[in-house]
C-alpha cells in the first residue's frame, strides 16, 4: 500500500471528524455567553436555566474538539514532514499564534467559567465565558488563515525550494481567508441554531405528549406544569424551550443568509484562484455559462479527455456566469480548456526527483475527483438550504407558542440537527479535494506570488512506512468511532434529563437543600 | 551565534519547561488517581485539585509544538516524523485523558467509571513517558539521513537514553504531584502525599538528574555545569523540605530543580536542536533548521506580547482557586434523572 494514500485518508478522516465538534463549539459557545448575558442583565430565571443546560451540552462537546484538535497539529510533522519543511516558514506562524493567542485563553477561561460559579464576582464570571467563546472564534480565524494560504499562497517567495514569508500582512489579510472566515463562522452558527431548534422542539413535543401544555380552541398554547418531580417541568421550563427554539431558528436563518452571501463571494474568488476546482464542481467539460443542476455520465474520469461523456441533464443558463462574475454572459472555462493550461504552466509529469519516491516522473492528473467535487458542492448547498427551510417552517409553526402534537415532526426536528453538520463536512471535503493534485495550490493570477505550490505527492513524510501510517489510521479511526458513540450517548442522556441534568437542584421536591458556599460549582 | 534563532531556541526550552512545570503535577495527579486514592470521594478530590487548570496547562504542549513548527520547521518535521509510533500512542493517551476528565463524572455504571479512571491514570502515565522520550531523543539524537529523515525503521528511536528520558518525566511528575497534593488538600490525602514524597523523592528525581548529567557530560560547558549543580541542590532541598513538612518550599524547590535541569540540558545541547547519530554533518542546528529572520521577528513580537499575558491570567487562575480543598468540599454525585 502507498503511504501517501493512507496519509491522505487519515488526514481527511481526522479533519472531518474534528470539524464535527468545532462548529458546535464555536456557535454554542457564543450563544451560551449571550444567554448568560441576558440573565445577567434581566435577572430572569429562564435565561439562567438556558445558560446551564446549553452550557452543559457545550462542555460535553467542547472536550472532544480539544482532544481531536491536538491530532491535527501533530500530524503535519508526523505524516507530512516534507510539507512541513516546505511551508513551515509561513504556515507554522498562524498555527503557533492560534495556540498562544487563542487556545490558551479558551482553555484557561473555560476552566474559570466551569469552576467559577459563585466563586467569582458575577460580572467577572460572565466575562470568562465571553473570553473563552470569543477565543474559539479567534482560533478559527488563525486556522483559516493557514488553510487559505494553502488554497491561495500570498505574501511568500520561493527561496531555495521552500516557501518563505515576505509579507505577514498579506498572509493575514489573504482575500481567501477574509471570505472563508465569515463563511465558516456562519456555518458554525447554523449548526448551533439547528441544535437548539431540534432539542427544544423535542422537549416541547414531550410536554405536549405528556399533556402538560395544551392548546385552546383559538390555537393558543395554555402552559401547564408538572412539579411532581421538582421544578424541572414548570412554567419557567416551558419558557426555556420556546425561547431556545425561537432563538435557534432565528440564528439558523440569519446564518444561512450569511453563509449564502459569503459563499457567493468565496465562489467568485475560487473561479479566479482555482478554476479547475470550480470546473470540476460543475462537471463542466466545455466552456459555457450554464449551471448544471444535474449531470450524468462518468464523473470518475481520470484521463485528460474522458469528461466528454458527461451530459448535463438540466442546466440553468447564465447562472454559472452569475456565480463567477455577477453577469450572465461571460464564458467560464471548462475542464477541456483548463487542462492544457495547467499542463503548460506546471508540467505534464512529476519531476524526476527522489523526493517523489515511486511517483517520480509519473503523469500528473490535474482533474480532481469529479464525483467528490460535484456532489460535495451540491450536498453542501442542499443540506444548508434544507436547514434554513426547516428553520423558517419551524418559526411559522410555533408562532402561537408551542409545537404540534405530532411525533414525526419532532423526529424530523431532531434529525434536522444533522443537516448543517452535513453541509459543513461536504463543504470542507469539496474545498480540500478540489485542490488536488496540489497540497498548496498554485496561484494562477500571480499577484506577487509565483511558483509557490506543492504537489500532494511530494508532501508526505519520506521516512515513515506504510505500516506505521496504517497503524495510526486504524488506531485513530477506531478510537474516534468509539468516542463518537460515547459523545452522542452522553449528549442524549443530558438532553433527556432536561434542564435538571445541568441543575440537579431542580429535581429536588423539597426546597430545603442548603447551599454550601464553598462547594465546587461544576465539580468533575 | 545567530541572535533570533538562539532566542527561539531559548523560547522553546522555556515552553517545554513551562509545560513540564505546570502539567507535571496534573499528569502526576492523573497517574496517582488509580493507585493512590482510597475511595471514590478521594478520586474525585484528586481530579478536582487540577480540575480548573489542567486544560490550560496542556496548551503549553500545543504551543511548544506549534512554536517549533513556526520557528524550526525542520526540527519539527524530522522529530515528529521520526517519532511516529510513540507520538501516535501519546496522541491516543491525550485524547482519552482529556475526554476522561469531562466524562468520568458522567459515567452511569461502576464499570464505565473504572474505565475512565483507567483512561485518566494510564493516559497520564503514557503522556509523561512519551513526552520524556521525545525530549530525550531531541537531546541525544536520532538516526537521521541528509534530508533529516529517520532511517532504521519505526523503532529506530528506541535507546536507553529515550527510556531514561521517559522515566525522568514520569518520576518528576509523580514527585510534583505529591508536593502539589500536600499543598492543595487537607486531611488524609495531604498527610499521605507528604509522607510519600519524603520517602520516595530521591528515587523519583534521580532519572531526571541522570538525564541532565548524561547530556551535560556529553558537551561540558561551564554554564551548564553550574546550572546543573543548582538543579541537584534544589532537588536535595526539596527532599529535605518534604521531610520537614515545609510543603510550599518542597513544591518550589521541585520547580527549581526542573527549570535548572531543562536549562542545563538545553544549554549543553545548543546549537544542535536534533543531532543525527549517523553523521554530525546531518545534525539539525539552530541555524540550519530555523525559519527566516522575517518569520522569527514576527513570532518574537507576538510572543513578547502574548506570553506575559498568558502567564498573567494563568497565575490569576491559580490565585482564584488557591484554597485547599478537602473531601468535604466534593458535592454528592448527581445521576441524571430522565424526565422524558
pLDDT in tens, A141-179: 999 999 999 999 988 888 888 889 989 999 999 999 999
Rounded Cα distance, A132 and A29, in Å: 8
Contact B76 A74 (CB under 8 A): no
Q: Which residues of chain A neighbour B51 with C-beta distances below 8 Å?
A: 111, 114-115, 520, 523-524
On the question of pLDDT at A310 being above 80, the answer is: no
Q: Is the Cβ of B184 closer than 8 Å to some Cβ of chain A?
A: no
Rounded Cα distance, B141 and B134, in Å: 10
- Of A517 and B87, which is predicted with more confidence? B87
Contact A100 B106 (CB under 8 A): no
In 3D, which of A289, A294, A290, A195 has the Cα closest to residue A245? A195
Is residue B276 helix, strand or coil? strand
Is residue A215 helix, strand or coil? strand
Contact B307 A100 (CB under 8 A): yes
Contact A108 B306 (CB under 8 A): no
Indicate the burial class of B322 (C-beta count within 10 angstroms; 0-12, 13-18, 19 or more).
exposed
Beta bridge mates, A292:
A315
Rounded Cα distance, B248 and A518, in Å: 23
On the question of pLDDT at A514 being above 60, the answer is: no
Nearest CA in chain B to A60: B102
What pLDDT score does A521 carry?
63
Least confident interval from A241-255, A311-325, B12-26, B109-123:
A311-325
* Segment A91-121, tens digit of pLDDT: 999 999 999 999 999 999 999 999 999 889 9
* Dihedral angle sign, alpha carbons of residues A277, A280, A284, A287: positive
Nearest CA in chain B to A58: B102
- Of B144 and A316, which is predicted with more confidence? B144
Residue B99 has φ and ψ, to the nearest 5°, of: -65, -35
- Residue A127 maps to a domain: yes
Residues 285-304 of chain B with CB under 8 A from chain A are 291-292, 294-295, 298-299, 302-303
- Residue A17 maps to a domain: yes
Q: Is the Cβ of B339 closer than 8 Å to some Cβ of chain A?
A: yes
Least confident interval from A11-15, A250-254, B200-204, B278-282:
B278-282
On the question of pLDDT at A518 being above 80, the answer is: no
Distance to chain A for B162, nearest Cα, Å: 18
What pLDDT score does A436 carry?
87
- The continuous run of DSSP H or E covering A164 comes out as strand A162-165
Contact B81 A68 (CB under 8 A): no
- Residue A96 maps to a domain: yes
Average of per-residue pLDDT across A205-212? 92
Please tell me whether the peptide bond between B271 and the residue prior to it is cis, using omega within 30 degrees of 0: yes
Nearest CA in chain A to B40: A524
What pLDDT score does B335 carry?
80
Distance to chain A for B151, nearest Cα, Å: 7
Asked if ipTM goes beyond 0.95, one says: no
Closest Cβ–Cβ partner in B71, B80, B336 for A77? B80
- What is the number of domains present in chain A? 1
Contact B317 A104 (CB under 8 A): no
Distance to chain B for A38, nearest Cα, Å: 25
Please tell me whether the peptide bond between A517 and the residue prior to it is cis, using omega within 30 degrees of 0: no
On the question of pLDDT at A295 being above 60, the answer is: yes
Percent of chain A with pLDDT over 90: 59
Distance to chain B for A438, nearest Cα, Å: 19
Residues of chain B with pLDDT under 70: 1
Contact B91 A71 (CB under 8 A): yes
In 3D, which of B1, B35, B48 has the Cα closest to residue B331? B48
Is residue A443 helix, strand or coil? coil
Site of grid cell 419557567: A236
Contact A108 B56 (CB under 8 A): yes
What pLDDT score does B60 carry?
95
On the question of pLDDT at A84 being above 50, the answer is: yes
* pLDDT confidence band for A360 (50 / 70 / 90): confident
- Residue A406 maps to a domain: yes
- Residue A150 maps to a domain: yes
In 3D, which of A220, A238, A102, A88 has the Cα closest to residue A163? A88
Mean residue pLDDT across chain A: 89
Nearest CA in chain A to B81: A78
Three cell numbers written together for B191: 498527610
What pLDDT score does B44 carry?
92
* Segment A392-417, tens digit of pLDDT: 999 999 998 898 999 999 999 999 99
Q: Which residues of chain B neighbour A64 with C-beta distances below 8 Å?
A: 99
Integer-rounded Cα Rg, in Å, for chain A is 25
Closest Cβ–Cβ partner in B91, B108, B321 for A70? B91
- Residue A361 maps to a domain: no
- The continuous run of DSSP H or E covering A294 comes out as strand A291-296
* pLDDT confidence band for A304 (50 / 70 / 90): very low
Rounded Cα distance, A102 and B129, in Å: 28
Helices (H), A152-234: 168-172, 175-209
* Dihedral angle sign, alpha carbons of residues A399, A403, A404, A407: positive
Closest Cβ–Cβ partner in A79, A100, A479 for B306? A100
Contact B320 A104 (CB under 8 A): no
Please say whether the beta carbons of B175 and B204 come within 8 A: yes
Distance to chain A for B52, nearest Cα, Å: 4
Rounded Cα distance, B30 and B136, in Å: 22
* Segment A413-422, tens digit of pLDDT: 999 999 999 9
* pLDDT confidence band for A335 (50 / 70 / 90): confident
Contact B48 A524 (CB under 8 A): yes
Nearest CA in chain A to B337: A497
Q: Which residues of chain B neighbour A74 with C-beta distances below 8 Å?
A: 65, 80, 87, 91
Full domain range(s) for residue A470: 3-275+373-429+456-505
Nearest CA in chain B to A72: B91
* pLDDT confidence band for A282 (50 / 70 / 90): confident
- Residue A77 maps to a domain: yes
- Residue A176 maps to a domain: yes
Please say whether the beta carbons of B184 and B29 come within 8 A: no
Q: Which residues of chain A neighbour B54 with C-beta distances below 8 Å?
A: 111
In 3D, which of A87, A171, A167, A104 has the Cα closest to residue A138? A104
Rounded Cα distance, A122 and A126, in Å: 6
What pLDDT score does A519 carry?
53
Contact A110 B55 (CB under 8 A): yes
Amino acid at each position: 500500500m502507498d503511504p501517501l494514500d493512507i496519509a491522505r485518508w487519515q488526514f481527511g478522516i481526522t479533519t472531518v471528524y474534528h470539524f464535527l465538534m468545532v462548529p458546535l463549539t464555536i456557535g454554542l459557545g457564543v450563544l451560551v455567553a449571550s444567554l448568560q448575558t441576558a440573565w445577567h442583565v434581566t435577572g430572569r430565571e429562564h435565561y439562567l436555566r438556558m445558560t446551564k443546560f446549553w452550557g452543559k451540552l457545550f462542555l460535553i462537546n467542547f472536550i472532544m474538539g480539544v482532544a481531536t484538535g491536538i491530532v491535527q497539529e501533530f500530524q503535519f510533522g508526523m505524516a507530512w514532514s516534507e510539507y512541513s519543511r516546505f511551508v513551515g516558514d509561513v504556515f507554522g506562524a498562524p498555527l503557533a499564534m492560534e495556540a498562544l493567542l487563542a487556545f490558551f485563553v479558551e482553555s484557561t477561561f473555560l476552566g474559570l467559567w466551569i469552576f467559577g460559579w459563585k466563586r467569582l464576582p458575577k460580572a467577572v464570571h460572565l466575562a470568562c465565558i465571553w473570553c473563552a467563546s470569543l477565543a474559539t472564534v479567534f482560533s478559527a480565524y488563525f486556522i483559516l488563515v493557514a488553510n487559505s494560504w494553502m488554497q491561495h499562497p500570498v505574501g511568500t517567495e520561493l527561496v531555495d525550494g521552500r516557501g518563505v514569508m515576505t509579507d505577514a500582512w498579506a498572509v493575514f489579510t489573504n482575500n481567501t481567508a477574509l471570505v472563508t472566515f465569515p463563511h465558516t463562522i456562519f456555518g458554525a452558527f447554523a449548526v448551533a441554531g439547528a441544535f437548539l431548534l431540534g432539542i427544544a422542539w423535542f422537549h416541547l413535543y414531550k410536554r405536549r405528549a405528556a399533556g402538560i401544555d395544551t392548546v385552546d380552541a383559538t390555537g393558543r398554547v395554555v402552559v401547564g406544569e408538572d412539579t411532581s418531580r421538582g421544578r424541572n417541568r414548570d412554567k419557567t421550563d416551558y419558557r426555556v424551550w420556546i425561547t431556545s427554539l425561537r432563538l435557534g431558528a432565528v440564528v439558523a436563518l440569519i446564518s444561512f443568509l450569511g453563509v449564502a452571501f459569503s459563499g457567493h463571494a468565496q465562489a467568485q474568488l475560487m473561479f479566479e484562484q482555482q478554476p479547475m476546482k470550480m470546473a470540476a464542481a460543475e462537471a463542466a467539460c466545455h466552456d459555457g455559462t450554464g449551471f448544471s443542476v444535474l449531470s450524468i455520465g462518468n464523473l470518475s474520469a481520470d484521463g485528460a479527455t474522458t469528461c466528454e461523456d458527461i451530459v448535463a441533464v438540466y442546466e440553468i443558463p447564465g447562472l454559472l456566469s452569475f456565480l463567477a462574475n455577477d453577469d450572465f454572459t461571460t464564458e467560464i472555462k471548462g475542464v477541456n480548456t483548463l487542462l492544457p493550461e495547467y499542463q503548460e504552466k506546471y508540467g505534464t509529469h512529476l519531476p524526476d526527483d527522489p523526493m517523489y519516491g515511486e511517483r517520480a516522473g509519473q503523469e500528473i492528473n490535474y482533474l480532481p475527483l469529479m464525483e467528490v467535487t460535484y456532489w460535495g458542492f451540491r450536498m453542501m448547498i442542499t443540506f444548508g438550504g434544507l436547514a434554513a427551510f426547516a428553520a423558517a417552517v419551524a418559526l411559522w409553526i410555533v408562532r402561537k407558542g408551542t409545537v404540534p402534537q405530532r411525533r414525526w415532526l419532532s423526529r424530523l426536528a431532531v434529525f434536522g440537527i444533522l443537516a448543517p453538520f452535513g453541509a459543513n463536512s461536504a463543504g470542507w471535503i469539496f474545498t480540500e479535494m478540489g485542490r488536488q493534485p496540489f497540497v498548496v495550490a498554485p496561484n494562477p493570477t500571480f499577484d506577487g506570488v509565483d511558483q509557490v505550490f506543492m504537489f500532494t505527492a511530494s508532501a508526505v513524510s519520506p521516512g515513515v512506512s506504510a505500516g506505521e501510517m496504517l497503524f495510526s489510521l486504524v488506531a485513530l479511526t477506531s478510537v474516534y468511532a468509539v468516542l463518537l458513540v460515547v459523545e452522542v450517548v452522553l449528549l442524549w442522556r443530558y438532553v433527556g434529563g432536561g434542564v435538571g441534568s445541568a441543575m440537579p437542584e431542580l429535581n429536588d421536591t423539597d426546597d430545603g437543600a442548603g447551599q454550601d458556599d464553598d462547594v465546587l460549582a461544576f465539580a468533575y | 551565534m545567530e541572535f533570533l534563532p538562539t532566542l527561539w531556541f531559548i523560547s522553546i526550552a522555556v515552553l517545554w519547561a513551562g509545560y513540564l512545570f505546570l502539567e507535571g503535577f496534573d499528569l502526576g495527579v492523573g497517574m496517582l488517581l488509580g493507585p493512590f486514592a482510597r475511595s471514590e470521594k478521594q478520586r474525585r478530590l484528586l481530579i478536582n485539585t487540577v480540575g480548573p487548570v489542567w486544560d490550560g496547562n496542556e496548551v503549553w504542549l500545543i504551543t511548544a509544538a506549534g512554536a517549533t513548527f513556526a520557528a524550526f520547521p525542520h526540527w519539527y518535521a524530522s522529530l515528529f516524523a521520526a517519532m511516529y509510533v510513540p507520538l501516535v500512542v501519546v496522541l491516543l493517551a491525550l485524547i482519552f485523558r482529556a475526554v476522561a476528565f469531562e466524562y468520568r463524572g458522567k459515567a452511569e455504571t461502576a464499570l464505565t467509571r473504572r474505565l475512565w479512571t483507567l483512561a485518566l491514570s494510564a493516559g497520564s502515565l503514557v503522556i509523561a513517558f512519551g513526552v520524556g522520550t521525545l525530549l530525550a531523543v531531541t537531546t541525544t539524537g536520532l538516526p537521521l539521513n541528509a534530508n533529516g529523515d529517520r532511517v532504521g525503521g519505526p523503532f529506530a528511536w528506541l535507546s536507553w537514553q529515550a527510556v531514561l528520558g521517559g522515566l525522568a518525566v514520569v518520576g518528576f511528575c509523580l514527585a510534583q504531584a505529591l508536593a502539589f497534593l500536600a499543598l492543595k488538600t487537607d486531611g488524609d490525602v495531604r498527610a499521605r502525599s507528604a509522607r510519600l514524597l519524603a520517602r520516595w523523592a530521591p528515587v523519583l528525581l534521580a532519572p531526571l538528574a541522570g538525564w541532565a548529567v548524561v547530556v551535560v557530560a556529553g558537551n561540558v560547558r561551564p554554564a551548564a555545569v553550574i546550572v546543573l549543580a543548582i538543579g541537584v541542590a534544589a532537588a536535595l532541598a526539596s527532599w529535605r523540605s518534604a521531610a520537614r513538612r515545609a510543603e510550599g518550599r518542597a513544591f518550589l524547590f521541585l520547580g527549581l530543580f526542573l527549570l535548572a535541569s531543562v536549562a542545563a540540558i538545553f544549554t549543553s545541547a545548543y546549537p544542535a536542536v536534533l543531532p543525527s547519530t549517523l553523521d554530525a554533518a546531518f545534525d539539525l542546528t539552530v541555524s540550519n533548521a530555523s525559519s527566516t529572520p522575517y518569520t522569527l521577528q514576527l513570532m518574537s513580537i507576538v510572543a513578547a506580547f502574548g506570553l506575559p499575558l498568558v502567564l498573567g491570567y494563568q497565575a490569576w487562575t491559580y490565585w482564584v482557586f488557591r484554597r485547599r480543598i478537602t473531601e468535604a468540599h466534593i458535592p454528592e454525585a448527581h445521576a441524571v434523572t430522565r424526565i422524558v
